[in-house]
Structure 1
Amino acid sequence: MYDIKHHGAVNGVTGSCHQLSLDGSLFSNHEARSVLVDCGLFQGAESFDRDSGEVSSQEVASQKQIDFAIDDVQALLVTHCHIDHVGRIPYLLAAGFTGPIYATKATALLLPLVIEDAIKVGVTRNRSIIRSVMKRFNSQLVAIDYDQWFVVEGFEEALKAKFKVAGHILGSAYIEFDVREFDANNHTRHKIINKKRVVFSGDLGAPYSPLLPAPKSPYRCDELVIESTYGDRNHESRFRRRALLQTTLKRCLENKGTILIPAFSIGRTQELLYEIETMIHAGHLKDIDIIVDSPLASGFTEHYKALKYLWDKEAQRKVASGRHPLSFEQLMTVDSHQEHEKLLGHLKDSGRAAIVIAASGMCAGGRMQNYLQELLPDERTDVIFVGYQAKGTPGRDIQRYGPRFVQTGSPGYVEFAQSGERWQRVDIRASIHTLGGYSAHADQKDLVNFVKRMRSKPSKIRIVHGDDDAKAALKAKFEGLFGCDVVVPVG
Structure 2
Amino acid sequence: MIEIKHHGAVNGVTGSCHELRLLQATKGSDPSGSDPTLLSAANSHPGILIDCGLFQGQEESRGSSAADLAIDFPIDHIRALVVTHVHIDHVGRIPYLLAAGFDGPIICSEPSAIMLPEILEDALKIGFTRDRALINRVLELIRARVVPLPYGRWHSVFEEEAGSLKVRLQRAGHILGSAYVECDAVSGSAAERIVFSGDLGATHSPLLPEPAPPERADRLVIESTYGDKNHEDRETRRYRLKAVLEHALEDGGTVLIPAFSIGRTQELLYEIEGLIAEFGDGAIGVSPQGDRPRSESLTWNNLEIVVDSPLAAEFTKIYRDLKPFWDEEARALVAAGRHPLSFEQLTVINSHEDHLNAVEYLAKSHRPCVVIAGSGMCAGGRVVNYLKAMLGDARNDVLFVGYQAAGTPGRNILTYGPRGGWVELDGERYDIRAQVHTVGGYSAHAGQEDLLRFVEGIPQPPSEIRIVHGDKGAKRALQGKLRDSVPEAAVVIPD
Normalising to structure 1: TM-score of the pair?
Answer: 0.91
Which residue is 1:129 aligned to? Answer: 134
State the match for 1:388 in structure 2. 403
Q: Could you say if the C-alpha distance between residues 324 and 47 of structure 1 is closer, same or farther in structure 2, counting changes exceeding 3 Å?
A: farther
**Cα contact 1:206–1:441 (8 A) shared by 2:** yes
CA distance in 2: counterparts of 1:143 and 1:22, whole angstroms: 24
User: Aligned residue for 1:10?
Assistant: 10
Looking at structure 1, the residues matched to 388 and 112 of structure 2 have their Cα atoms a distance apart, in angstroms, of 33
Q: Does the 8 A contact of 1:62 with 1:91 survive in 2?
A: no
Cα separation, 2, equivalents of 1:438 and 1:101:
29
Partner of 1:6, secondary structure, is strand
Pair 1:87 & 2:100 matched: no
Q: Distance in 2 between matches of 1:375 and 1:216?
A: 42
**Match status 1:164 vs 2:177:** no
Task: Name the amino acid aligned to 1:6.
Answer: H
Q: What secondary structure is seen at the aligned counterpart in 2 of 1:152?
A: strand
Contact 2:308 2:373 in 1 (8 A): yes
Q: SS state of the match for residue 437, structure 1? A: helix
Equivalent residue number for residue 231 of structure 2: 235
- Contact kept? 2:157, 2:166, Cα under 8 Å: yes
The 3 A distance-change label for structure 1 pair 75 and 346 is: same
Partner of 2:270: 274
For the pair 1:255 / 2:251, whether they are aligned, the reply is yes
Alignment CA distance shift 1:158-1:250 (3 Å): same
Aligned residue in 2 for 1:379: 394
How far 1:353 sits from its partner (Å)? 1.2
Q: Deviations over 1:246-298 (max 9, x none)?
A: 01100000121111000010000000000000000012523111000000000
Give the deviation of 1:436 after TM superposition.
2.2
1:475 aligns with 2:482: no
Q: 1:49: how far off?
A: 4.0
Equivalent in 316, 332, 337 of residue 322 of structure 1: 337
Query: Partners in 2 of 1:221 and 1:154 — Cα distance?
Result: 21
Q: Deviations over 1:380-399 (max 9, x none)?
A: 11000000000000000000
Instruction: Note if contact 1:48-1:65 (Cα within 8 Å) is conserved in structure 2.
Output: no
Which letter does structure 2 place at the counterpart of 1:173?
A: A
Structure 1 position 350, deviation (Å): 1.4
Shift of 1:94: 1.5
CA distance in structure 2 between the partners assigned to 1:81 and 1:248 by the alignment: 30
Match of 2:47 among 25, 29, 34: 34
Question: Structure 1 residue 70 and structure 2 residue 75: aligned?
Answer: yes
Aligned match for 1:464, one of 443, 448, 468: 468
Q: Is the 8 A contact 1:14 1:85 kept in 2?
A: yes
Match for residue 217 of structure 1 among 205, 209, 213: 213
- Root-mean-square deviation over aligned CA pairs: 1.7
Does the residue aligned with 1:402 lie in a helix, a strand or coil? helix
* TM-aligned CA deviation for residue 352 of structure 1: 2.0
1:358 lines up with 2:373 in the alignment: yes
Q: Distance in 1 between matches of 2:441 and 2:264?
A: 13
Alpha-carbon distance in 2 for matches of 1:381, 1:94: 44
Counterpart of 2:16 in structure 1: which amino acid? S
Contact 1:24/1:33 (<8 A) preserved: no
1:194 deviates by: 3.8
CA distance in 1, matches of 2:209, 2:43: 42
Aligned match of 1:46? 59
**For residues 25 and 296 of structure 1, what CA distance do their matches in structure 2 show?**
48
In structure 2, the residue matched to 1:58 is none
C-alpha distance in 1 between matches for 2:412 and 2:431? 12
Question: 1:63, 1:95 within 8 Å by CA — same for their partners in 2?
Answer: no
**Which 5+ residue runs of structure 1 have no aligned equivalent?**
56-60, 183-192, 406-411, 418-422
Distance apart, 1:135 and its partner CA? 1.3
Instruction: Please give the secondary structure, in 2, of the residue aligned with 1:286.
Output: helix
Contact 2:204 2:210 in 1 (8 A): yes
State the Cα distance separating 1:212 from its structure 2 match.
0.4
Q: Which residue of 1 aligns with 2:106?
A: 101
Shift of 1:154: 6.7
- Residue matched to 2:260: 264
Contact 1:62–1:94 (CA<8 Å) still a contact in 2?
no
8 Å CA contact 1:7–1:19 kept in 2: the answer is yes
Between the aligned partners of 2:219 and 2:131, the Cα distance in structure 1 is: 43
Equivalent of 2:185 in 161, 179, 183? 179
Matching residue of 2:351: 336
SS in 1 for 2:301: coil
Contact 1:228 1:463 in 2 (8 A): yes
CA distance in 2, matches of 1:353, 1:481: 48
Post-superposition offset of 1:24: 3.0
User: In the TM superposition, what whole-angstrom CA distance separates every residue of 1:279-336 from its partner, at most 9, and x where no partner exists?
Assistant: 0001252311100000000000001001100111111110010000000000000011
Mark the CA change 1:389 to 1:196 in structure 2 (over 3 Å): closer, same or farther.
same
- Is the 8 Å Cα contact of residues 264 and 442 (structure 2) preserved in structure 1? no
Q: For residues 347-374 of structure 1, what are the alpha-carbon distances to aligned partners after superposition, in whole Å with 9 as ceiling and x for unaligned?
A: 1121321100011000000111111111
* Secondary structure at the counterpart of residue 344 of structure 1: helix
Aligned-partner SS, 1:44? coil
Contact preservation (8 Å) 1:448, 1:478: yes
Q: CA deviation at 1:434?
A: 1.1
> Distance between the aligned counterparts of 1:228 and 1:379, measured in 2?
35
Contact preservation (8 Å) 2:22, 2:47? yes
Distance 1:204 1:63 in 2: 26
Shift of 1:95: 1.3
CA–CA distance in structure 2, aligned partners of residues 257 and 133 of structure 1: 43
CA contact (8 A) 2:56 2:62 kept: no
CA distance in 2, matches of 1:122, 1:49: 15
Paired position in structure 1 for 2:437: 433
Alignment match, 2:424: 415
> Structure 1 runs of 4+ off > 6 angstroms?
26-29
AA in 2 matched with 1:238: R
- Asked if the contact 2:363–2:390 (Cα under 8 Å) also holds between the matched residues in 1, the reply is yes
Counterpart in the other structure of 2:22: 22
Q: How far apart, CA to CA, are the structure 2 residues paired with 1:204 and 1:155?
A: 32
Stretches of structure 2 that go unaligned for 5 or more consecutive residues are 27-38, 281-299
Residue 447 of structure 1: aligned partner:
451
State how far apart, in whole Å, the 2-side matches of 1:72 and 1:63 are.
22
For residues 110 and 471 of structure 2, the distance between their equivalents in structure 1, rounded to whole angstroms, comes to 31
Displacement of 1:459: 0.4
Which amino acid in the other structure matches residue 398 of structure 2? V
Name the amino acid aligned to 1:41.
Answer: L
> Judging changes above 3 Å, is the alpha-carbon distance between structure 1 residues 91 and 137 closer, same or farther for their aligned structure 2 residues?
same
Q: Structure 1 counterpart of 2:48, which letter?
A: V
Superposition TM-score, scaled by structure 2 size: 0.90
**SS of match in other structure, 1:98:** coil
Structure-1 separation of matches of 2:104 and 2:249: 51
CA–CA separation in structure 1 for the residues paired with 2:183 and 2:70? 26
Superposed displacement of residue 48, structure 1:
5.1
Q: Distance in 2 between matches of 1:117 and 1:96?
A: 22
